[in-house]
Structure 1
Amino acid sequence: MALDQTTAHHDARAASRTAADRMRPVRVWLYAVAALIVLMVVVGGATRLTESGLSITEWKPVTGALPPLSEGAWQVEFDKYRQIPQYQQVNRGMSLDEFKYIFWWEWGHRLLGRLIGFVFLIPFLFFLWRGLIDRALGWKLAGLFVLGGLQGAVGWWMVASGLVNRVDVSQYRLASHLTLACLILAATVAVAVSLKPLRRPEVAPHWLRGYSRLLFAVVVLQIFLGGLVAGLDAGLTYTTWPLMDGHLVPPIENLLVQQPVWRNFFENVLTVQFNHRLVAYLLLALALGHWLSARRARGMVARRALVLLVLVCAQASLGIMTLIHQVPLDIALAHQFGATIVLIAATVNLVRINEAT
């Protein structure tokens, strides 16, 4: 009987390895898509920091893939830009060459979005044709493709908010756009990771699964809050740490000055930045607690928890540097890139812990 059980165990592991090898091209493809999404998030951050996002005032999903090809075409695009409040109130007198600089950032961002769509769709159809994708996986991947299309629409919805009566985009829409991109990234990574079973069984306390979900949720919340900070340029206002406007905790009357009270959490620069700081502290504490708890499980469970803790510490350091140096482009983009890496680590941790026994 014992021999039969051992033989069955080895057969199951061999079958699992065979299935994993068969799905390797699908995993590699999904990881490539995830890498492009990370690049998209970083380029989106550069577009925001260079105030380039409103340079293209129309949404042309097909014909917009081509940039202006003549001086006359460039002048037409520039004339359209000169009709919006950002040019009239902020960039009046901008030269055509200066316009081209911001145009290329936004055009590159949109082109990258189109590229991701092609990189996703064409291999998806190929793998379907080859029979590598079953019905359950097919529905998951189709859902990702739909979310990608929705992300494009949300991106235009964000841009449209800055074309009339504003000189920038709505922080609500910017935070939504960023958060949706990161959720698509997390879902893509989760599907890819799930296609490769664990090499050897891992053991983790049942309650650690709930902890990993909480940690993931707080990472997503922090990304949303970071979007609000970016949308309000809140990182340029209070640039000291650990004190903020001379206080560890700003006076409550300043934090809740706007009415109704809920608006402070989305529109009050002081409150938005303070919340981003608070959740950073919370995330750091949760990552530390998660690692201390995961150490009991040992093995890869503990190692992944340690990696996540190190990444959260590094991201917090980048956040502080971004703040005290008043949001320089290089450090700010490193901070945005760091957010995606922390999210990926939290996603892998979540998937693997929930696969553990």
Structure 2
Amino acid sequence: MNTKKRSIFEEVGETAKPATAPKGGMIDARPRGARKAVRAWLMVLFALVVVMIAVGGLTRLTDSGLAITEWAPVTGAVPPLSAEDWEAEFELYRQIPEYQLQNKGMTLSEFKTIYWWEWGHRQLGRVIGLVWAVGFVGFLVARKIPPGWTGRLIGIGALGGLQGAIGWWMVSSGLDGTMLDVASYRLATHLGLAFVILGLIAWWVFTLGRSEAELLQARRAREPRLMSLGGWLVGLAFVQILLGALVAGIDAGRGYTDWPLMAGGFLPPGAFEIQPLWRNFFENDGLVQFMHRMAGYVLLVFGIFVFFRARRSSFTATRGAYGAMLGMLFLQMLLGIVTVMYSAPAHIAIFHQFGAVVLWVLILRARHQTAYPRSQSVRGAAA
């Protein structure tokens, strides 16, 4: 038994070095993966999805969406390479209602134009899938995915695959019967999912742009009331996007070119003439455009209300984010009015659709800024 007395001034375990807390706290000590690299990869995917939405819009505006009548995810990547191949593709197109009821007498040269639009649209989808797969597998093998992010990144790939299946579900609706275009509600589903994917990528790009420690600290300063209002704003914007898809699906933007009235009245004539009644909300061009207009007014008024509520925020960056949102909201409304008054020509309609993308991202950015406010100096500038 060791009975040696110890001095009361002797430090306990003086031969062993005490463990020191890692600089920045335990959250910074965890392996964080390649946050910057993953963010850069997501930004590439974001840009590709934006281009995909634009190409999809032009495919719709040029009536090219039904040019390819088969779904071949792998072999469809190779376009017709011979005169015989082109004739075979053209013969398939001649069997569908769009050709027989609308484009009868179309030449092979004219068919090639719409074919290349649809082929390019599908090819871009394959490129996006490849970029996702190569990036995800690369980060996974290198063990560079930040903790907690594997499921999110897999989810993006799964939604992309689902989007391809929904795309074919949409196209198949116009291949038989008397349909001259795809079903508008299927088009709305297809475009809606594209905006969901774009929104998720944008949110994660915003998140990965800041450290875990900064995000954890920012959560403590979030403003729940403003965050809730931002969530409602996101929901209203999404509904308006879906209504815009319904307008595009039945060319409802070309039927009533006066504003603010419609054919001289508040409600368009024959707004509920289709039977059964519910079909009017999807197939009546006057009622569908009316709903899109009314939803736009509601979104604008609510956006103004949220902006003034955000002005009371103590965070400069938050106020600035909602200011940018409101500015784009006014511009998008102006683009919508011009699109209608000029009967939705392709070059204006595509700007209106791109405006929806910009507005969507700015609304999400504002809400993200509310959820994770940026710290600022005493003078009020963002740190």
Q: TM-score, normalised by structure 1?
A: 0.91
In the other structure, the counterpart of 2:184 is 171
Native 8 Å contact 1:37 1:185 kept in 2: yes
In the other structure, the counterpart of 1:5 is none
Q: Deviations over 1:127-154 (max 9, x none)?
A: 1122221452111111111110000000
Distance in 1 between residues matched to 2:311 and 2:26, nearest whole Å: 26
5+ residue gaps in structure 2?
1-20, 375-383
- Of 74, 96, 100, 1:62 maps to 74
Q: Deviations over 1:298-331 (max 9, x none)?
A: 4110000011111111111111111111111111
Native 8 Å contact 1:204 1:294 kept in 2: no
Query: 1:193 deviation in Å?
Result: 1.5
Q: Deviations over 1:134-184 (max 9, x none)?
A: 452111111111110000000000000001011111001111111011111
Q: Deviations over 1:96-155 (max 9, x none)?
A: 110000000000000000000011110111111222214521111111111100000000
In the other structure, the counterpart of 1:187 is 200
Native 8 Å contact 2:244 2:292 kept in 1: yes
5+ residue gaps in structure 1?
1-7
- Of 315, 325, 330, 1:313 maps to 330
Native 8 Å contact 2:317 2:369 kept in 1: no
Query: 1:260 deviation in Å?
Result: 3.9
Distance change in 2, residues 1:60/1:346 (3 Å): same
Aligned residues: 348
Q: Deviations over 1:11-47 (max 9, x none)?
A: 359949x959x41111111011011111101100100
In the other structure, the counterpart of 2:248 is 230
- Determine whether 1:111 maps to 2:129: no
Native 8 Å contact 2:321 2:369 kept in 1: no
Native 8 Å contact 2:22 2:28 kept in 1: no
Native 8 Å contact 1:287 1:309 kept in 2: yes
Aligned residue identity for 2:352? H
In the other structure, the counterpart of 2:311 is 295
In the other structure, the counterpart of 1:267 is 283
Query: 1:85 deviation in Å?
Result: 1.0
- Of 117, 121, 125, 2:137 maps to 125
In the other structure, the counterpart of 1:4 is none
Distance in 2 between residues matched to 1:33 and 1:67, nearest whole Å: 24
Q: Deviations over 1:30-71 (max 9, x none)?
A: 011011111101100100000000000101100100111112
Native 8 Å contact 1:55 1:99 kept in 2: yes
Query: 1:9 deviation in Å?
Result: 12
In the other structure, the counterpart of 2:381 is none
Native 8 Å contact 1:204 1:301 kept in 2: no
- Of 261, 278, 281, 2:294 maps to 278
Query: 1:93 deviation in Å?
Result: 0.8
Distance in 2 between residues matched to 1:13 and 1:139, nearest whole Å: 23
Q: TM-score, normalised by structure 2?
A: 0.85
Aligned residue runs from structure 1 range 323-338, under 5 A = 323-338=340-355
- Determine whether 1:344 maps to 2:361: yes
What is the SS of the residue equivalent to 1:309? Answer: helix
Identity of counterpart residues, as a percentage?
A: 44
Distance in 2 between residues matched to 1:85 and 1:330, nearest whole Å: 27
Native 8 Å contact 2:222 2:372 kept in 1: no
CA RMSD of aligned residues (A): 2.4
Distance in 2 between residues matched to 1:204 and 1:275, nearest whole Å: 34
Aligned residue identity for 2:306? H
Distance in 2 between residues matched to 1:204 and 1:317, nearest whole Å: 33
- Of 249, 254, 257, 1:239 maps to 257
Distance in 2 between residues matched to 1:10 and 1:293, nearest whole Å: 38
Distance in 1 between residues matched to 2:235 and 2:266, nearest whole Å: 26
